[in-house]
Amino acid sequence: MIDPKRVLRALAEHWSLLDPLCERFDSGTLSLVELRAQLAAQRGTADAAEITALLDQWIRLDILVPVAKSPNRFELNAQIHDFLAYLRREHRLGLCLEIEAYLRHLERLAGHIQEAFAQRDSQDLARQLRLLDMRVRDVLKKLANDEQALVGVAERAKTSDRQIPLRQRYAEVLATWDEYVEPMIQLVAADGAFEQGVRRAEQVLLHLLGEQQRLGQLVDDDLLLRTHARILDMQTTAQLTLRRARELLLPLREEARRHNAVTRGAALALAAIRRKGLDGVPQAALPLFSRPQSIFLGTANQVEAYVYALARFEAKPAHFPRAGGTRRHMPSRAPLTAREMIERCEQALPLPDLMQWLLDQVPEGATDELLYWFSRLSRDSRFQRERLARRDYLTREHQVSLSSYALTGRQA
Amino acid sequence: MIIDLKEMTLLAAIFRELLKGGHISRRDAELYAQLNTLQDAYRALFKAQGFELVCDSRGFYYFVPEQMGAQVNKTAQRLALFTFILVEHLADQGRDPLSVLDGGSLGRDELPGLLDKYSDLFVQAEVASQDELEEKIMRRLTQLGFASEEQGVYRFLAPMHRFLDVCLAVQQDRDLAASLHSHLPLPTPALGDDSESASAAEDDDEEQQLARAIAAERAAQEDLQ
Q: Are the beta carbons of A265 and B169 separated by less than 8 Å?
A: yes
Looking at this protein, which amino acid is placed at residue A148? Q
Residue (of A360, A407, A367) closest to A387 by Cα position:
A407
Q: Is A16 on the interface with B (CB under 8 A)?
A: no
Q: Looking at the 3D structure of chain A, how many domains does it have?
A: 3
Q: Which domain holds residue A35?
A: 4-87
Task: Specify the 3-state DSSP secondary structure of B69.
Answer: coil
- Give a yes or no: residue A299 inside a domain: no
Nearest Cβ partner of B98 from A166, A347, A366? Answer: A166
Looking at this protein, which amino acid is placed at residue A41? A
Q: Is there a single domain that holds both residue A100 and residue A78?
A: no
Out of A218, A253, A271, a domain closes at A271
Residue A175 has pLDDT above 80, yes or no: yes
Q: Are the beta carbons of A334 and B171 separated by less than 8 Å?
A: no
Full pLDDT tens readout for chain B, 225 residues: 778 888 889 999 999 888 888 899 998 999 999 999 999 999 999 888 888 899 999 999 998 866 544 455 788 888 999 999 999 888 887 777 888 888 888 999 999 989 988 988 898 888 989 889 998 899 989 998 999 999 889 999 999 999 888 888 887 776 666 665 554 443 333 333 333 333 334 444 556 666 666 777 676 666 655
Check residue B192 and give its pLDDT. Answer: 31
Question: How far B112 CA lies from chain A's nearest CA (Å)?
Answer: 19
Give per-residue pLDDT as tens, A258-272.
888 888 888 888 888
Please answer whether residues B19 and B50 qualify as being in contact, where contact means their C-beta atoms are separated by less than 8 angstroms: no
Topology of domain B74-170, per CATH? Answer: Arc Repressor Mutant, subunit A (1.10.10)
Which run of H or of E encompasses A324?
Answer: none
Q: Is A285 on the interface with B (CB under 8 A)?
A: yes
Q: Is there a single domain that holds both residue A42 and residue A128?
A: no
Check residue A409 and give its pLDDT. Answer: 84
Q: Is A159 on the interface with B (CB under 8 A)?
A: no
Distance CA B84, CA B101 (A): 11
Spell out which residues of chain B touch residue A361, defining contact as CB-CB under 8 Å: none
- Give a yes or no: residue A202 inside a domain: yes
> What are the residue ranges spanned by the domains of chain B?
11-64, 74-170
CB pairs under 8 A between A and B: 197
Give per-residue pLDDT as tens, A319-356.
776 766 555 555 555 667 788 888 888 888 888 999 99
> Please, what is the Cα angle at B42 between B39 and B45, to 5 degrees?
150
Spell out which residues of chain B touch residue A286, defining contact as CB-CB under 8 Å: 72, 76-77, 80, 166
What stretches of A61-192 show up as alpha helix (H) in DSSP?
78-87, 96-118, 122-159, 166-169, 171-176, 182-188
When pLDDT is averaged across residues A156-182 and rounded to a whole number, the result is: 77
Check residue B195 and give its pLDDT. Answer: 35
Q: Is there a single domain that holds both residue A187 and residue A63?
A: no
- Give a yes or no: residue A205 inside a domain: yes
Q: Is A156 on the interface with B (CB under 8 A)?
A: no
Out of A87, A117, A134, a domain closes at A87
Q: Is A293 on the interface with B (CB under 8 A)?
A: yes
Q: How many CB atoms lie within 10 A of CB A51?
A: 18
Nearest Cβ partner of B96 from A162, A348, A376? Answer: A162
Peptide bond between residue A352 and the one before it cis (omega within 30 degrees of 0): no
**Chain A stretch 216-255, residues whose beta carbon is closer than 8 A to a beta carbon of chain B:** 255
Question: How far B98 CA lies from chain A's nearest CA (Å)?
Answer: 7
Tell me, yes or no, if the pTM score tops 0.90. no
The percentage of chain A sitting over the pLDDT mark of 90, rounded to a whole number, equals 0
Check residue A276 and give its pLDDT. Answer: 78
Give per-residue pLDDT as tens, A297-326.
445 566 666 677 777 777 777 777 676 655
Residue (of A229, A213, A203, A216) closest to A114 by Cα position:
A203
**Chain A stretch 369-398, residues whose beta carbon is closer than 8 A to a beta carbon of chain B:** 369, 372, 376
Q: Is there a single domain that holds both residue A28 and residue A47?
A: yes
Q: Are the beta carbons of B180 and A275 separated by less than 8 Å?
A: yes
